[in-house]
């Protein structure tokens, strides 16, 4: 007897995964990390009101979550000055990107992104047979001009840009993004990933109309709201596009506890303001640690700081591995020249102190290895 018959596309897909989780590394190391600073998680955690709402919702989890996400969408619509019909809630931005790609991208369809940008988006594009066209960053920034120029050549279904950017932490002004929207080709949709935008300087969120059919904006409770494990993302876009998600999404896919937590987090605007201060101070702390060690911290509009280790990818990899050996979980950009850097999440002082304590030794180990 043989196995099942996969689709030709599924049979051809590689078995690679976008990211290896820190728990996997801990199991391989047979030792826990002392500081979990690699996944752009927010160690300051969610609003205490969100924690209380989630704990209270645990006993009610025998009920399916509301498949319409009605209350959360209503609150989000108020917060964004749009209508609930402009919003779809899903299982994190990752889940929503999967649905979006499925709606638009079939085998052979062109998609434009930046080389080194979010790999999970690429995972979804490849998963539906799309063809990725990658343009280089301009220095540490994604390059709207290059993205638009490539789009003019290949007429893609989608252009992806993150603002602020991950993994470099850089940002464009919202005005720059809005100008980019005006130049998106007919029949192309701009995917604007604003996962970190609540932590960016004033004016970074693009002033685009929620009803603009040329762009869909992705937001999340994973970063500024500190709820990565709850898996709550949302997208803002034209009502026709938003309605199309209903054709394919896992309608009962949202965790009811997460729905309750996200609603409480959204309403706790005092905590959100406090969080911006906490993250800002933590960015300064990480920049100081980098500088103290003779490294260059890149300016960050996110809850992480990308640190230029001043050499090539092999050197940064050695620094990362030495940090791992010292029980500090960090990650690094995938492609050159960004892979000269390591990427470190903001977090409470205990984790910052652990990183500060481990970095000098990690640099010394990497330098010793590279001089051999």
Rounded Cα–Cα distance for residues 62 and 321 (Å): 44
Which of 171, 217, 219, 238 binds a copy of itself (CB under 8 A)? It is: 238
268 binds a copy of itself (CB under 8 A): no
Q: Which of 94, 142 has the CB closer to a copy of itself?
A: 94
229 binds a copy of itself (CB under 8 A): yes
219 binds a copy of itself (CB under 8 A): no
Which of 95, 116, 164, 174 binds a copy of itself (CB under 8 A)? It is: 95
Q: Which of 169, 261 has the CB closer to a copy of itself?
A: 261
350 binds a copy of itself (CB under 8 A): no
Q: Report the candidate in 168, 178, 200 with the shortest Cα–Cα distance to residue 307.
A: 168
Q: Which of 240, 312 has the CB closer to a copy of itself?
A: 240
Q: What is the DSSP string of 105-159?
A: --TT-EEEEETTS-HHHHHHHHHTT-EEEEE--BTTB--HHHHHHHHHHH--SEE
Rounded Cα–Cα distance for residues 334 and 327 (Å): 21
172 binds a copy of itself (CB under 8 A): no
Rounded Cα–Cα distance for residues 135 and 106 (Å): 21
334 binds a copy of itself (CB under 8 A): no
Q: Report the candidate in 16, 33, 108, 19 with the shortest Cα–Cα distance to residue 329.
A: 33
Count of residues engaged in binding a copy of itself, rule: CB under 8 A: 89
198 binds a copy of itself (CB under 8 A): no
108 binds a copy of itself (CB under 8 A): no
Q: Which of 53, 289 has the CB closer to a copy of itself?
A: 53
Which of 37, 54, 89, 321 binds a copy of itself (CB under 8 A)? It is: 54
The window from 94-102, 132-140, 306-314, 360-368 that contacts a copy of itself (CB under 8 A) reads 94-102
Rounded Cα–Cα distance for residues 55 and 51 (Å): 6
Question: Angle CA(356)–CA(27)–CA(120) in degrees, nearest 5?
Answer: 80
228 binds a copy of itself (CB under 8 A): yes
Contact pattern from residue 151 through residue 170 relative to a copy of itself, giving x for each residue in contact according to CB under 8 A and a dash for the rest: ------xx------------
Alpha-carbon distance values, 121 to 2, 287, 300 (Å): 33, 29, 22
Structure token digits, residue 254: 């949202």
């Amino acid at each position: 007897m043989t196995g099942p018959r996969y689709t030709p596309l599924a049979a051809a897909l590689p078995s690679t995964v976008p990211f290896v989780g820190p728990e996997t590394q801990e199991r391989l190391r047979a030792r826990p990390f002392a500081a979990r600073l690699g996944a752009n998680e927010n160690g300051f955690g969610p609003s205490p009101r969100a924690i209380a709402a989630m704990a209270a919702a645990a006993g009610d989890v025998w009920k399916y979550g509301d498949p319409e996400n009605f209350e959360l969408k209503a609150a989000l619509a108020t917060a964004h000055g749009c209508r609930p019909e402009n919003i779809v809630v899903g299982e994190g931005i990752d889940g929503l990107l999967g649905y979006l790609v499925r709606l638009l991208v079939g085998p052979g369809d062109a998609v434009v992104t930046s080389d080194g940008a979010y790999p999970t988006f690429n995972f979804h594009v490849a998963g539906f047979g799309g063809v990725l066209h990658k343009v280089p960053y301009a220095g540490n920034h994604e390059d709207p001009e290059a993205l638009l120029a490539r789009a003019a050549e290949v007429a893609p279904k989608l252009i992806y840009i993150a603002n602020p950017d991950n993994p470099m932490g850089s940002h464009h002004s919202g005005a720059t993004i809005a100008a980019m929207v005006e130049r998106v080709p007919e029949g192309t949709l701009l995917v604007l990933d604003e996962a970190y935008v609540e932590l960016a300087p004033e004016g970074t969120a693009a002033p685009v109309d929620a009803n603009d059919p040329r762009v869909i904006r992705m937001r999340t409770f994973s970063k500024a709201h500190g709820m990565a494990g709850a898996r709550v993302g949302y997208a803002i876009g034209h009502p026709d596009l938003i309605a199309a998600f209903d054709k394919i999404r896992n309608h009962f896919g949202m965790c009811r506890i997460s729905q309750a937590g996200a609603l409480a987090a959204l309403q706790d605007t005092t905590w959100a303001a406090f969080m911006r201060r906490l993250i800002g101070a933590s960015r300064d702390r990480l920049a100081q640690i980098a500088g103290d060690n003779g490294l260059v911290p890149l300016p960050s509009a996110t809850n992480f700081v990308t640190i230029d280790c001043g050499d090539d990818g092999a050197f940064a990899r050695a620094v990362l591995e030495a940090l791992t050996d010292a029980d500090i979980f960090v990650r690094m950009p995938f492609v050159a020249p960004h892979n000269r850097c390591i990427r470190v999440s903001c977090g409470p002082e205990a984790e910052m102190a652990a990183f500060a304590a481990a970095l000098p030794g990690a640099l010394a180990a990497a330098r010793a290895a590279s001089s051999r």
